Amino acid sequence: MGKNGFDIHFGLRRQRELYLRPFSFSIQPMYKAVFIDMDGTLLQTDHTVSEANKKEIKRLLDMGIIVVPISARPLHGILPITQQVVPGTMPVVSLNGSYIFHNGEIIYEASVDLPEVVSIHQHLVPFDVSVMYYSRMDWFTAKESKLVVKEQAITTVKIKIQPFESTMEEWRSSNNGPNKILIAGESALINNVERQLLNLHREKLNIYQSQAGYLEVMNLQASKANAIAFLLNQYGLHKGEIIAIGDNYNDKGMIEFAGIGVAMGNAPDEIKRVADHVTDTNNNDGVAKALRYFFK
């Protein structure tokens, strides 16, 4: 136990809530859904799911708990993994909440308006960064790089390498656009690019790092928290009935939104501070340990 009688596992947000209400000894509520991030959370460093994590997720599914993978990855980088862990009847949230797939159909998507795409592209021209555009099951880049090759390694869908103008023409002709723009590069450079893009686009776009050196740009309505809110409405649940588990800055919103927000042991301190509970690391079965803690 920590000072003032608080469980050391619980974060500052829950401590503040406890200060504002009388202590209660009521039975812990039953949570009906769990939303689990993938990289750095469900997945180990080698991009595999541990047997302990698989076992705990199966136990929850057998209890009738909804288990939803939620990731910055494109759908084609998620399904080969999630098909081993959750049934096809479960929704899958991809591209940081801008694309939701369920029972073979797209049930929600949000894309970046093409004028904003052009503006982002023009701003990035002077910078030594790799820019990838994700649109539904397709993804595009203007040139190959080591970072593009790294992203290609997590999916069997080949990236389309073509001039930016060709990609724009495809989107104009199909009345479509990217669900997500990924800007990857050296960490200090990405920090600088993030500051500049926020100054120019913060009122129109969601812009944040999913990990060091990876900057995500999406529609303002696209976020993991908004995707969860959409699915709660579909299932008739409220946020007090759910748990969200994540490890990085793009998980902050859903960790704050959920009835119980869980941060991984490998998460940055800023993410741990907003969580209700801090579990072990992704390489030490942190998801399984969190699930055992809340579903005894």
**Active-site annotation holds for 46:** no
- Given pLDDT bands bounded at 50, 70 and 90, which one contains residue 21? very low
175-194 mean pLDDT:
95
86 secondary structure, DSSP code = S
CATH of the domain at 260: 3.40.50.1000
Could you tell me if 17 and 98 lie in one domain? yes
CA–CA separation, 296 and 275 (whole Å): 20
In the chain, how many domains are there? 2
Helix, strand, coil share of the chain (percent; to 5):
40, 20, 40
Judge whether residue 24 has pLDDT over 60.
no
Judge whether residue 134 has pLDDT over 70.
yes
Percent of the chain with pLDDT over 70: 90
- Given pLDDT bands bounded at 50, 70 and 90, which one contains residue 160? very high
Domain assignment of residue 99, given as a range? 3-109+223-294
CA–CA separation, 54 and 180 (whole Å): 29
Please give the mean pLDDT across all residues of the chain: 89
pLDDT at res. 250: 92
CA distances from 18 to 2, 165, 276 (A): 14, 55, 11
Percent of the chain with pLDDT over 90: 82
Last residue of a domain, one of 219, 240, 271: 219
Could you tell me if 231 and 163 lie in one domain? no
Last residue of a domain, one of 168, 187, 219: 219
- Give the active site residue among 37, 247, 276, 285: 37
| Predicted TM-score (pTM) of this structure | 0.83
Could you tell me if 98 and 122 lie in one domain? no
Judge whether residue 185 has pLDDT over 50.
yes
Could you tell me if 41 and 137 lie in one domain? no
Could you tell me if 214 and 230 lie in one domain? no
pLDDT in tens, 287-296: 999 999 999 8
pLDDT in tens, 192-201: 999 999 999 9
239-263 mean pLDDT:
96
Could you tell me if 102 and 231 lie in one domain? yes
Could you tell me if 118 and 105 lie in one domain? no
Rg (CA), the chain: 19
pLDDT at res. 156: 84
CATH of the domain at 175: 3.30.1240.10
Could you tell me if 214 and 120 lie in one domain? yes
Could you tell me if 118 and 28 lie in one domain? no
